[in-house]
Amino acid sequence: MIRMKKLVFLTSLVASTVFGCTAFAAENLYDEPLAIESENLQDYFSLQGSASYDPITEIISLTPNRRLQAGNVSLNKKLPATTSFHLEAEVNLGDKTDVEGGGDGVALALHTDVPSAIGKPGNGIGVLGLAGVQAFKLDTFWNRSEEYEEPPENVERILGRNQPFGAFLVSNPTTVMIQDSVQYLANNQDAPADVDGQFHSFIADYDAMSKELTIRFHSNRGWLTWKQVLPLQENYAVAFSGSTGVNVNHQKIKVRSFVTKPAIVTGQFNLQLTDQETNQPLAGGQFEIHDITTGKLVETITTDENGKASVPKLPLGTYQVSQVTTPTGYEKTTNRTFSITEEQLTQQLNVENQPILGSLKVTLTNRVDVKQKLSGGRFHLMDDSGKILKKNLLTNEHGMFELTKLPIGKYTLVQEKAPTGYQIIDKETTIWIKGSQLLEVPVQNAKEPETAKTSDDDNFKEAESQESSSLMTNSLTMESTRSASSTTSEIIAEKDNQTVVIESSSSTIHEELLPQSNPMISQLPLKKVTQLTIQLKKINGEPIQEGSFELFNTQTGQVQQLALALNEPLTLTNLPFGTYELRQTKAKFGFVRATQTVHFELSSQHLVETITLLNQKLSPTQLTQNVVVKADKKSLNGATIEWITKIKFGTDILEAPAVSFQNELDQLVATDVSGSYHGDPIENIGHFEQKDAIVRFLFDEKDGSYHYLVAQEIQMKIVTTPDQWGTPKE
């Protein structure tokens, strides 16, 4: 029935004008998807120039066997720049090669000219001259003209004749042939010529997103494939064209199907989450993206360590962003909306989370009488990492101070000084801020014991005790040779002909420090001395005499480089109070350094710290000298032979390592060796030696040892071709 309709249609019109030839406005587009087959081809395509159509055979003749012809079949309207297509056709390049008088070829063109436009004949293939043309051509004629580029001369063919080829033509803005895209068709030397008067399958796929055009052509020597990214940014017309020049061919095509797929225009949504107070990025904030129109959940995203999250390939539309979870200690933000439009394909939303801030009130009282508020107590506040956040916090006349805007978390309140006449009971108090409510923190101090006071009228007299001055633990024994009075701000003590100045805010002497045997001798506390001892040992407990360390004060940021040079432990004294980190930076040669970081604190309650680190002795690698890697081929047979080895070093290199490559035929090999070490060529860390049937790679020393190879993995490869082999030995 369909065939009858075509015959009726053909009888009422001239065959060459079955297709309309109307020119359309440049922006008259096929917006909707197309599914064109041979039955409805004439509804969408038109013929230009020398082209004609036979609806019975469904053959479109692009050029007759006449000189200087150009014809095409073109889509009536342009396609949007975002539309992809799939074309299936058959191509007949004619029955004469160029040496037999045949030419010039056919082409599939995508261009920005009007849809009905046609290009130049001859070597123009009916496409050159079109505005913004991007094309693929099957060229069957050797052009002596230099107007358009041809493939590089093939020395096996005389002056490039009889070598039909396929290649891309790209305009940006001038039209040039992409030399790298050239592939030769069959030409009787490797298969029957493709210019054989027969139809050959031709498939084209254009991806509007990647701008890549893929062509597949069934040559007499098999399927050939071409791919090329086209600089096509505008709405485009599609045409299949052919041309002749001085040489001629009857060039034909059959269009089996043409299907378009408008690209789904998508955009991207980017979100940045920060702290409202500090503007620092926040990780772990979770958000849901809902389509406003349908209410459907589109995506759930979580911010990364940089506070960023994104949704790529988001279809056009309006969306709502709602925060599901917040980082610990923050309040949720309000819902937001955004739209992805063709005019605004990328949307950036900056979101701030308000930290949940708490506050605390510290009240210092007398332990015996809690109603008695104490002023003049000094404190500081640290966070959970030991960093001091607030210093010199003093209780006022009401015995209190307040702190506000404290993020949720763990804190330590440290009392540095008690009011005059009082002493600290608990130096540190742990505090948890869990919400925005005010947290009241009670602290109590005890009265100092009763003391023996001095005055201007009553000075110490020289003691008659026979006890001599002595240095006692954490105290200095002072005899009656020193004096103290209420008018001085210092107490002077003498010991071993040295004068020690001890700062004192009052002239009070603690009675409990006076020796019972001699009331005229007192002991005043010295500054407490800290001590850090570092020991380095083997697994079996034996000491190691070499090692380097790094000591980091986390509060001041000070870094000390330490070295152990003797069998004795390394001891440091008079380190300031604070939190520290100790790391081993270097081990004795032949040992593996300790990798852990040791955290510790020195304080008035913890003056001495001893740290023992264990270093394990290295075990030697199994790879030493003359490791042989044999080829797995037993015969050459004209094939390339490869040796591939992956070298794994152990935990120590005790002797010079080398790798030997040898084949089983015992023939000479060539040193075409490749490999890399940390991205550098393998030759940077060694050298090759070749003798008879063996190639050896020897690793070089660095800084007097092979220690740099410890625990490394290196892959090496040798490639040998037949002409590099010597004569087999008898």
Residue 472 is encoded by which pair of tokens? 């006692």
pLDDT for res 580: 93
What is d(CA 438, CA 433) in angstroms, rounded to the nearest whole number? 9
Residue with tokens 């001495």: 608
Mean pLDDT for the stretch of residues 401-428: 91
pLDDT digits (tens, 9 = 90+) for 369-395: 889 999 999 999 999 888 999 999 999
Residue 715 has pLDDT above 80, yes or no: no
CB 126 within 8 A of CB 245: no
Residue 290 has pLDDT above 90, yes or no: yes
Strands 658-662 and 627-630: parallel
In angstroms, the Cα distances linking 81 to 34, 111, 208, 233, 536 are 15, 11, 7, 6, 71
DSSP classification of residue 67: S
Task: Name the average pLDDT for the chain.
Answer: 77
pLDDT for res 381: 95
- Length of the chain as a residue count: 730
What is d(CA 188, CA 221) in angstroms, rounded to the nearest whole number? 10
Portion of the chain with pLDDT greater than 70, in percent: 70
pLDDT digits (tens, 9 = 90+) for 158-191: 345 678 999 999 887 778 889 899 999 987 776 7
Which has more pLDDT, 69 or 673?
69
Q: Examine residue 355 and say whether the peptide bond preceding it is cis (omega within 30 degrees of 0).
A: no
Classify 357-447 by CATH class. Answer: mainly beta
Beta strands in 197-316 (DSSP E): 200-207, 212-219, 222-229, 237-243, 251-262, 266-275, 286-291, 297-302, 308-315
User: What own/partner pairs with CB < 8 Å and gap ≥ 24 does 329-335 have?
Assistant: 329/355, 329/356, 329/407, 329/408, 329/409, 330/275, 330/282, 330/285, 330/354, 330/355, 330/356, 331/355, 331/356
Residues contacting 403, CB < 8 A, separation 6+: 359, 360, 362, 381, 390, 393
- For the chain, the C-alpha Rg in angstroms (whole number) is 45
148-157, 247-256, 318-327: least confidently modelled range: 148-157
Mean pLDDT for the stretch of residues 83-101: 93
Rounded to the nearest 5°, which phi and psi values hold at 158?
A: -75, 115
pLDDT for res 588: 76
Which has more pLDDT, 495 or 579?
579
What is d(CA 481, CA 493) in angstroms, rounded to the nearest whole number? 8
Residues contacting 416, CB < 8 A, separation 6+: 378, 379, 380
pLDDT digits (tens, 9 = 90+) for 457-474: 444 333 333 333 333 333
Selection from 245, 250, 242 nearest residue 198 by Cα: 250
Which has more pLDDT, 169 or 616?
169
In angstroms, the Cα distances linking 271 to 276, 288, 301, 307 are 15, 12, 9, 8
What is d(CA 80, CA 34) in angstroms, rounded to the nearest whole number? 12
What is d(CA 134, CA 150) in angstroms, rounded to the nearest whole number? 17
3-state class (DSSP) for residue 707: helix
Sign of CA dihedral 454, 455, 461, 462: positive
Enclosing H/E stretch for 7? helix 2-11
CB 441 within 8 A of CB 406: no
Pick the most confident of 142-151, 561-570, 660-669: 561-570
Portion of the chain with pLDDT greater than 90, in percent: 45
Residue 293 is encoded by which pair of tokens? 């129109």
Classify 35-144+160-260 by CATH class. Answer: mainly beta
Q: pTM of the entire structure?
A: 0.43
Q: How far is CA 228 from the centre of its chain?
A: 29
3-state class (DSSP) for residue 20: coil
pLDDT for res 497: 35
Q: Which bin fits 105, alpha (ψ -120 to 50), beta or left (φ > 0)? A: left
Domain 500-506+528-617 CATH superfamily: Immunoglobulins (2.60.40.10)
Q: Count of CB atoms within 10 A of residue 49's CB?
A: 21
CB 242 within 8 A of CB 106: yes
Q: Which bin fits 574, alpha (ψ -120 to 50), beta or left (φ > 0)? A: left
Give the count of alpha carbons within 13 A of 373, CB side only: 11
Mean pLDDT for the stretch of residues 65-79: 96
> pLDDT band for position 521 (50/70/90)?
very low
Residues contacting 363, CB < 8 A, separation 6+: 373, 395, 399, 400, 440, 441, 442, 443
Burial of residue 211 (CB within 10 Å: 0-12, 13-18, 19+) is middle
DSSP classification of residue 171: E
Residue 436 is encoded by which pair of tokens? 């925005």
Residues contacting 498, CB < 8 A, separation 6+: none
362-366, 668-672, 706-710: least confidently modelled range: 668-672
Mean pLDDT for the stretch of residues 574-599: 84
Q: Count of CB atoms within 10 A of residue 160's CB?
A: 17
> pLDDT band for position 660 (50/70/90)?
low
pLDDT for res 718: 66
Residue 508 has pLDDT above 70, yes or no: no
Domain 266-353 CATH superfamily: Immunoglobulins (2.60.40.10)
pLDDT for res 452: 43
Rounded to the nearest 5°, which phi and psi values hold at 119?
A: -90, -165
* Domain parsing of the chain, residue ranges: 35-144+160-260, 266-353, 357-447, 500-506+528-617, 620-699
What is d(CA 671, CA 438) in angstroms, rounded to the nearest whole number? 78
pLDDT for res 309: 96
CB 654 within 8 A of CB 709: no
What is d(CA 494, CA 423) in angstroms, rounded to the nearest whole number? 27
Longest C-alpha distance within the chain, in Å? 147
Residue 29 is encoded by which pair of tokens? 């587009």
Which has more pLDDT, 647 or 148?
647
What is d(CA 434, CA 408) in angstroms, rounded to the nearest whole number? 5
Q: Which amino acid is located at 406 in the chain?
A: L
pLDDT for res 721: 53
Give the count of alpha carbons within 13 A of 599, CB side only: 5
pLDDT for res 130: 93
CATH topology match: 35-144+160-260 vs 357-447: no
What is d(CA 258, CA 86) in angstroms, rounded to the nearest whole number? 6
3-state class (DSSP) for residue 638: coil
Mean pLDDT for the stretch of residues 113-133: 93
Residue 342 has pLDDT above 70, yes or no: yes
Q: Which amino acid is located at 673 in the chain?
A: V
In angstroms, the Cα distances linking 51 to 15, 61, 243, 391, 702 are 10, 5, 10, 92, 75
What is d(CA 211, CA 205) in angstroms, rounded to the nearest whole number? 10
Enclosing H/E stretch for 416? strand 409-417
Residue 540 has pLDDT above 80, yes or no: yes
